[in-house]
Structure 1
């Protein structure tokens, strides 16, 4: 990649600046909007398609190019392409106020959708209307972190809604059916009775043992593994409803 030496202030349009602080200094690169995420996801591999200017800057808007000495000191290399790749991978994308506001609003709508899909009012076992969730999010003062996935912030959001948003809210449990050989029930039944977050609705014991009840979604992986080990692969876990009051069906051998 060639070195570009600007003679004055650079005028860029449709630009996204990716910034990385390293070795006590700030480094920036000028990228095309939407291309940064494509590069990070692997769908775009050509740096020329990502960068507006093929260089590393101390300050893009002022046209201050990073010196070879600074690159070598902080990145342990003078190779611009290697430095650019690291900034793209680890740097933070800078956005304007309007774009930041739009991203925040989109994040809130995504959060509302996730809460509506996975949480309920424990008094009615029904989901809250999206409009009520959105109002409660604003009332709680909960703010999404701009660089973290919305799904990873759900627990914090639920806590904020319960303590500051005025909502009695909890994650919905899923309804499952476990089927195993009757002889394996002696090992599995005590474990199900002790499993925190599991509630039995129905049970039949005979040559074939069947347990139907509610479990916390986070228990599904451990439950599948337990049934697989205790039945040597012959037992099954079937999801009857993805959430209380919902519908869905999925089987796990």
Structure 2
């Protein structure tokens, strides 16, 4: 079959379109490689491009004229132009591809939520399938341009408000070492005060920070100290020789950075916060750690 000069027909491609003034330029990429390139996972253009060429129209196979390239990009160096289009251009996605991508992203979000949360009543994992169904019923809208991790954290709050799943963030287990007795007592007092203030703000609907979001989390056992620290469950408290304090705690993950900062401030950098496990689960009558 006769094919006019300057035309290269391609099939099964992901197209990136870039406009400069009234001119339109396109490049043809392998499906699913563009986002990997933009995330820095792929650097070799040969792994991204189906053909090392700049097009005026990929679907028609029409190659861009050198004069147009020079006029719009100030060069005819195709590698430089292609990289600019890759980084700044708009990825053209078919409706079928878009729906497939949205379903995959929703599944990823459900996986993250299932890994980060537990049933509030039982402290046990919630099946991914139930989380996925709850997201659909809550009409959670996936945003393709945002990271699934950030969306998962937002989705957790949505499910807590608009779902029958009674879930909460799985707690972290930490070991806190405070070298001096006077620092330990100040630390305890400050934690109690911050917890109290955060709980009051949450009650008034002024929740803003991760620590405040964690306010109101119920205490499950622990020492007497934990009775006043609703966001921190003290599993064990050991006073060492010389007045040092060794705490084993469970906390809401949203409060980790705040706790770390408080320990550093009250001990002038000499205290330590060690993560023992990222996720504490209840299996039967036993506690299991997930690192």
Sort the TM-score into its range (normalised by shorter chain). Answer: 0.7 to 0.9
Aligned to 2:49: 51
State the superposition RMSD in angstroms.
Answer: 3.2
Aligned to 1:3: none
Deviations 1:171-225 (A, max 9, x none): 2232323111123214422332215443243544561213343322133234334
Deviations 1:73-105 (A, max 9, x none): 654544332221012123343344444333333
Residues 130/73 of structure 1: CA separation in 2 closer, same or farther (3 Å cut):
same
Aligned to 1:28: 26
The reply on whether 1:190 has 2:189 as its aligned counterpart is: yes
Alpha carbons 1:240, 1:249 under 8 Å: kept? no
Task: Find 1:236's aligned residue among 269, 272, 275.
Answer: 272
Task: Find 1:15's aligned residue among 4, 13, 16.
Answer: 13
Task: Find 2:168's aligned residue among 170, 173, 185.
Answer: 170
Q: CA deviation at 1:39?
A: 3.8
* Alpha-carbon distance in structure 2 between the residues aligned to 1:185 and 1:24: 67
Task: Find 2:289's aligned residue among 240, 248, 251.
Answer: 248
Residues 20/171 of structure 1: CA separation in 2 closer, same or farther (3 Å cut):
farther
TM-score (norm 1): 0.78
* Alpha-carbon distance in structure 2 between the residues aligned to 1:107 and 1:14: 22
Aligned to 1:213: 249
* Alpha-carbon distance in structure 1 between the residues aligned to 2:18 and 2:167: 39
Aligned to 2:103: 105
Q: CA deviation at 1:115?
A: 0.9
Alpha carbons 1:180, 1:209 under 8 Å: kept? yes
Aligned to 2:232: 199
Aligned to 1:158: 156
Alpha carbons 2:279, 2:290 under 8 Å: kept? no
Alpha carbons 1:239, 1:248 under 8 Å: kept? no
The reply on whether 1:122 has 2:120 as its aligned counterpart is: yes
* Alpha-carbon distance in structure 1 between the residues aligned to 2:247 and 2:42: 49
Deviations 1:15-62 (A, max 9, x none): 221233455654320122354355445555443443223332332112
Aligned to 2:219: none
* Alpha-carbon distance in structure 2 between the residues aligned to 1:200 and 1:49: 50
Residues 19/243 of structure 1: CA separation in 2 closer, same or farther (3 Å cut):
same
Alpha carbons 1:10, 1:61 under 8 Å: kept? no
* Alpha-carbon distance in structure 2 between the residues aligned to 1:21 and 1:171: 45
Residues 249/75 of structure 1: CA separation in 2 closer, same or farther (3 Å cut):
same
Residues 49/174 of structure 1: CA separation in 2 closer, same or farther (3 Å cut):
closer
TM-score (norm 2): 0.69
